[in-house]
Structure 1
Amino acid sequence: MSWFLLLFYLVNTIIARTQTPLLANIADEWGLNAPPNPNSTGHLVFDTVSSLLQHWPNTQYHTGHTIVPGTISTGTLLYHGRGDAHPPTASEWVSTDPEFGRLFCTKIESCWLLTFIATRPLRVLYFDGSSATKAPDGPMDTQDLLAWGVVSPECANVSWEYRRMERLCSMGGFDAYVRMQLNFEIMLCSFTDGVQIASGSHLEAEPIFPHHGYAFVHSSKWHDSYPGETRIQLDLTQLVSLYDVELAPSLVAHRAGQPRHAHRLLGIDERDTAAVLERVRAITFGPGIGSGVDWQAQFQVIRHRYATRLELLQLTLDNGAAEHAFHQLQILLTPYRLRSAIPPPAGRDTAWAGPVFRACAQGHTAFTESMQAAFTASEWLLLSTMQETTREICRVLVRMWADGVLALRGSSAIPDSLAPKWKTEVDALVGWLGWSEWTKCRPACAPDESCYLPGAPFSMEQWNVTEPRCIRLIEPYSGLRSLASARAF
């Protein structure tokens, strides 16, 4: 037996021995006609985790559900704008980009930009979503749950900001808290422990808007998509997700039938709140936690594999080209199209395609599951999330491919009559996944423009708009309200 055949045999043996059923209520685990439970959240966890520290998806879905510990590395520069040259004596805000730090001088005539440097790794806690936005419809839910043990929409305004920061800093265990509002800001608990001042610059007295406001937008674009804000390293082995139905089952009923933009933490009960707080208090910093799996890389491999291909498949079916769509399916499923998967000579049964479905669905997770002995509770969630997401992607694609194979029996071409059916299935899959890669400016923006998704702090009244627009980032400017009048900043 050649080394290649031996490796193939061992791979399939491990898959067969380690993979356990994901959906135990399905009699035929690899049947192609069983969609996920309407209340399942694996795809939502998958999207939020693979979107962490990225501006674009966290603006699109502004109410965060994820709390993640992380570190800011030694030597990282942090920026703070204020009215004098003296470092803060209490907890205050800093930013990772000077363009944002400059904006802290809003309504201050004499602006000093202080630059600090981390003298040791800073222990941080990150809240996803547009979590720095002072709006009562959900962006601050996770941090308020942590600060006060309840969700408090009435506290989502500027007047509560210092009390919120003081409350979080009083918890102990963390040096800072990371939030986002178009760009990333850090609620730094101490300016005498872990940081020191590197420089102080007395800036020219000039209005923030329009030039500095648009520079702020420029800087936010640097973090639009993966890898996002790279100066903060997150530890996914201790991630806490409010989409975890085992951790917070009381939220399931409140999400039922609601569009994703309406999901929030209102309605979480005391038992689930206590469980969330216990998980956060148990967070530790140091080596040797978890299995060693690079979960972010695993998630990105799946997104990169399917995001552009699903978009192309959707476009092809919009044009009614079933034959071209089938060719794309064949290419997409090439690693999983087993020679042993042969359709029957007659009938419409698709059980013969089950092994292809299984190979596709398990292709990214079987080996990872074999490392389960070292998993943390968060890693179990991450694995099940990958399984659920890839399972549904593969179920839809393999079912379409099987339809095409059956249609080719006795025919030399795929009938275009399959296009409407396939389009419905692909549209449903894309809507279920909800990935931010598919929210873009169409047509693409000109070189002197930027694709902008309305949201805080400039477009609060259009917060839930999902159609981005092109805005000019050089004079004559277009598209943004004045920062001075933005009520969320």
Structure 2
Amino acid sequence: MGVKPLLLSSLLWAASTTTATAASPSTTQNANHIFNSIHSSMRQWGSSLQHNGMSLFLASVPAGTQFYHGTSIPDPINGTEWLAFEPEHAMVFARAHMGPPPDEEDDDKKKKELRKRDEETEEEKSSGWLHTYVAAKDLRLLYADGMSAGKTRNGTLDFEDRVLFRDEVGEKEMMGDRERANMFCRMAKEEWDDRVDGLLRMEAGFEIILCDFARDLKEVRVTRTKPSYPFRGPGGGGNDDKKKKKGGPVTKGDGALWFKAIAARYDGIGGNRVTLNYDNFVSAYTYGLDLFHSVNETFTLPRLTQFTSQQLVPIREALNELVLQHEAKEATFNWQTITDMVVERYAHDIRYFASGQLSTVEDIHAKIEKVLAPFVDYGDRDGEEEAERCSMQFIPGGAFGGDGDAGVAATAVHAVTRRICETMVQGWQETDYNTLIGLFQDLMEYLAWTTWKQCSGCADHEICVVPIWPMGTVEDYNHPQCRDAAKPESEGQNYWGGRPGGPGGHHPPPSESSSSAGWIPSLVSFLRSFLGVALGLHF
């Protein structure tokens, strides 16, 4: 029996008209990017590759969740400060305050503290304190996706600074987050009636800027850390010989624990520690903006630098509405679990069909039929019906409502599954081998799933290395590889340009500062200068 053909024109029409009225047309146009935003949210791996984010979600963290804060002092922390989800992350900051000494105008207290530090032993001077807390209540947070804690000009700060902070973060404050923290907490109190307690972001690990430690946390313990200033990265970072000559402590390989902790969160924060509202969130992908082009540049990853402040007003207004009218826990569907099922079901097949490993059209058709068989009525073949049945496999019942209304997540996920299933049906009908392979290669390019870059077969002592600010090379981004967690660095062009300040494309061009090993020099610079105690920051 013949099959009613699935024409390309009808596919495009279906993809543009089966969306819900609650979502804008650009939701379907950018469905692949919205899908990936949902799939990569709160995951170190996908958020590192899709590091420019472009979405803000309401998040909830349950009471009792453990957090960590590294600092130079054992005293209780009050007010606004940083929290880490992993102790290894916080321990990077648990070291002595090595900032510049006070000048003649400093008060007597600071001078006495300086003299006291000078009297301590070398070992005592180089250690810090790890504070452990639990959340005293369910924390209400705003989550900026991507690598939004990365201080780069590659686009990691675009959505945060331009939308959340409304272009009010000055150039000189780009590296220092204290101004962002203070600004956010003022907004939370004065404009949002304390409906959010902090800002959730990611760099080399997930962090929270929490507005009120005393109100929202219970202290569990404060412990002194092993003396090891400065944190020298994997393998000791090249300073071990000097330490040995001075008789000081050697922490060879001390970076491996941190990097292993980072890699442990590649697939998610775990433990139901964070819940996101996927039914209501704000994304730049839904406002009809061309995020990938400006007058003179084409961006591989999305940017906001090409727009005027006025063009971003609708997104800012939507953010205010989101915070004031919605809650993280109100969501009906966990759309990330839906995207997981889609990726797990189709990632291997799509890559296999696109690879050319199957040598004949008949072989590919046979494999496609196995994928589509559950959705085929062999007594009444209809390509349109087969594609639609396939596309709805993982969509929860009721997601589109009785009147067909749906939110951004439902619309985007359905548009992506429809595109996958349409390609399968069209491929089953295609008789030219090269055209058939091209269909799936185009589909892979459209989907751009970060799972296709994941390493396989890493040994127990290895991690899959991907650029995580300020570490990593361009090669690490293009071809992530398994490397020893104690020695993850590679030779080549630093992905972040060696220092913040590269141009606004995918990655900065080669320069003298970016031609050496990617991880160690940037890591040391990061710890000393960017988050360094000279700026007085704690974690």
Question: TM-score per shorter chain, which class?
Answer: 0.7 to 0.9
One-letter code aligned to 2:458: C
State the Cα distance separating 1:425 from its structure 2 match. 1.3
State the Cα distance separating 1:199 from its structure 2 match. 0.5
Secondary structure of 2:219 counterpart: strand
Q: Which residue of 1 aligns with 2:16?
A: 23
Residues 27 and 408, structure 2, Cα contact 8 Å, conserved in 1: no
Mean Cα displacement is larger for which, 224-233 or 81-90?
Answer: 224-233
User: Residue 165 of structure 1 is aligned with which of 160, 181, 201?
Assistant: 181
Deviation per residue, 1:274-313 (Å, 9 max, x gap): 32222222224659845x2332222222222111222233
Residues 113 and 201, structure 1, Cα contact 8 Å, conserved in 2: yes
Q: How does 1:376-391 map to 2 (within 5 A)?
A: 380-391=407-418
Matches of 1:187 and 1:235, distance apart in 2: 19
State the Cα distance separating 1:430 from its structure 2 match. 0.6
One-letter code aligned to 1:164: R
Residues 151 and 265, structure 1, Cα contact 8 Å, conserved in 2: no
Q: 1:122 to 1:391 in 2, by over 3 A?
A: same
Q: Which residue of 2 aligns with 1:323?
A: 362
Secondary structure of 2:470 counterpart: coil
One-letter code aligned to 1:432: Y
User: Residue 79 of structure 1 is aligned with which of 50, 68, 71?
Assistant: 68
Residues 452 and 471, structure 1, Cα contact 8 Å, conserved in 2: yes
Secondary structure of 1:431 counterpart: helix
Q: Which residue of 1 aligns with 2:46?
A: 57
Q: Which residue of 2 aligns with 1:17?
A: none
One-letter code aligned to 1:471: R
Q: How does 1:257-406 map to 2 (within 5 A)?
A: 261-282=300-321, 283=323, 284=325, 289=330, 292-315=332-355, 317-318=356-357, 320-342=359-381, 352-365=382-395, 367-371=397-401, 380-403=407-430
Deviation per residue, 1:251-285 (Å, 9 max, x gap): 45847997663311223444553322222222246
Residues 65 and 243, structure 1, Cα contact 8 Å, conserved in 2: yes
Q: Which residue of 1 aligns with 2:220?
A: 198
Matches of 2:155 and 2:292, distance apart in 1: 17
Matches of 2:320 and 2:27, distance apart in 1: 32
Higher relative contact order (CA 8 A, sep 6+): 2
**1:455 lines up with 2:502 in the alignment:** no
Q: Which residue of 2 aligns with 1:467?
A: 479
State the Cα distance separating 1:326 from its structure 2 match. 2.1
Q: 1:330 to 1:260 in 2, by over 3 A?
A: farther
Q: 1:98 to 1:169 in 2, by over 3 A?
A: same
Secondary structure of 1:62 counterpart: coil
State the Cα distance separating 1:83 from its structure 2 match. 0.5
Residues 277 and 328, structure 2, Cα contact 8 Å, conserved in 1: no
State the Cα distance separating 1:135 from its structure 2 match. 0.4
User: Residue 221 of structure 1 is aligned with which of 242, 247, 263?
Assistant: 263
Q: 1:440 to 1:296 in 2, by over 3 A?
A: closer
Q: Which residue of 1 aligns with 2:55?
A: 66
Matches of 1:435 and 1:421, distance apart in 2: 22
Secondary structure of 2:187 counterpart: coil
TM-score by length of 2: 0.72
Q: 1:100 to 1:73 in 2, by over 3 A?
A: same
Q: 1:120 to 1:152 in 2, by over 3 A?
A: closer
One-letter code aligned to 2:152: A
Secondary structure of 1:235 counterpart: strand
Matches of 1:39 and 1:234, distance apart in 2: 22
Query: Structure 2 stretches of 5 or more lacking a match?
Result: 1-12, 20-24, 98-125, 189-194, 235-252, 491-518, 532-539
TM-score by length of 1: 0.78
State the Cα distance separating 1:21 from its structure 2 match. 5.2
Secondary structure of 1:296 counterpart: helix
Matches of 2:132 and 2:281, distance apart in 1: 30
**1:89 lines up with 2:78 in the alignment:** yes
State the Cα distance separating 1:137 from its structure 2 match. 1.9
State the Cα distance separating 1:49 from its structure 2 match. 0.8
Mean Cα displacement is larger for which, 113-122 or 223-232?
Answer: 223-232
Q: Which residue of 1 aligns with 2:273?
A: 231
Q: 1:397 to 1:320 in 2, by over 3 A?
A: same
Query: Structure 1 stretches of 5 or more lacking a match?
Result: 1-19, 27-35, 343-351, 408-417
Matches of 1:21 and 1:366, distance apart in 2: 20
**Paired residues, what number?**
427
Q: Which residue of 2 aligns with 1:123?
A: 140
Residues 58 and 140, structure 2, Cα contact 8 Å, conserved in 1: yes
Matches of 2:197 and 2:445, distance apart in 1: 39
One-letter code aligned to 1:217: F
% identity of equivalent residues = 21
User: Residue 158 of structure 2 is aligned with which of 107, 125, 141?
Assistant: 141
Mean Cα displacement is larger for which, 103-112 or 148-157?
Answer: 148-157
Secondary structure of 1:465 counterpart: helix
Matches of 1:481 and 1:217, distance apart in 2: 12
Matches of 1:397 and 1:185, distance apart in 2: 41
One-letter code aligned to 1:202: R
One-letter code aligned to 2:223: S
One-letter code aligned to 1:427: Q
Q: Which residue of 2 aligns with 1:435?
A: 449
Q: 1:431 to 1:238 in 2, by over 3 A?
A: same
State the Cα distance separating 1:388 from its structure 2 match. 1.3
Q: 1:397 to 1:147 in 2, by over 3 A?
A: closer
Q: 1:321 to 1:98 in 2, by over 3 A?
A: farther
Q: Which residue of 1 aligns with 2:9?
A: none
Mean Cα displacement is larger for which, 258-267 or 465-474?
Answer: 258-267
**1:154 lines up with 2:171 in the alignment:** yes
Matches of 2:452 and 2:484, distance apart in 1: 22
Secondary structure of 1:390 counterpart: helix
State the Cα distance separating 1:389 from its structure 2 match. 0.6
